[in-house]
Copies of this chain bind each other. A is one copy, B any other.
Amino acid sequence: MTKAARTFALPIQVYYEDTDAGGIVYHANFLKFAERARTSWLHAIGWPPRRVQEDLHIQFVVKHIEIDYRNPGFLDDKITATCTLENIGNSSITFEQLIERDKTVLAALKVVCVTINAKGRPIRVPPQLRQIFGA
């Protein structure tokens, strides 16, 4: 089992569905972009959400988000959602995330996820994931 790089980047295309009548990317959709990057990272390390749930009997849920909107995104934009591991606590993982178009930061996020068991209770981040994420 190898350690994952501590940063993951996902290219994303902005479609009509992502924009609003203000002519820009609808603000809530940046959270979707960020989630796609986190989930794609899980895919990349061999632990897609369904396998996490079936084999480890846990689920990641979002506990806290801080997001700064710095520049608008537009239809047809080719953007990148990056995800950097900031910290692994007992039952939480903190990510720093950026949504960028070339070198322009559209949004910067801090996202805290918690691992919960089937009953919805916080549970220790399992060693399988802990090891891969490099903590």
User: A residues touching B (Cβ–Cβ < 8 Å)?
Assistant: 13, 15-17, 19-24, 26-29, 31-32, 35-36, 39-40, 43, 48-51, 59, 61-69, 72, 74-76, 120
Are A21 and B74 within 8 A (Cβ)?
Answer: yes
Nearest-neighbor residue (CB-CB) of A67 within chain B: B65
Are B16 and A22 within 8 A (Cβ)?
Answer: yes
CA distance A10 to B118 in the complex (A): 32
Copies of this chain, complex-wide, total 4
Contacts of A72 in B (CB 8 A): 61, 120
Contacts of A49 in B (CB 8 A): 16, 75-76
Nearest-neighbor residue (CB-CB) of A20 within chain B: B16
A114 vs chain B, min Cβ distance (A): 9
Assuming A27-B62, A29-B28, A50-B76, is B21 touching A20 (CB within 8 A)? yes
Q: Which of B13, B22, B36, B68 meets A59, CB within 8 Å? A: B22
Nearest-neighbor residue (CB-CB) of A48 within chain B: B76
CA distance A124 to B17 in the complex (A): 25
CA distance A120 to B23 in the complex (A): 11
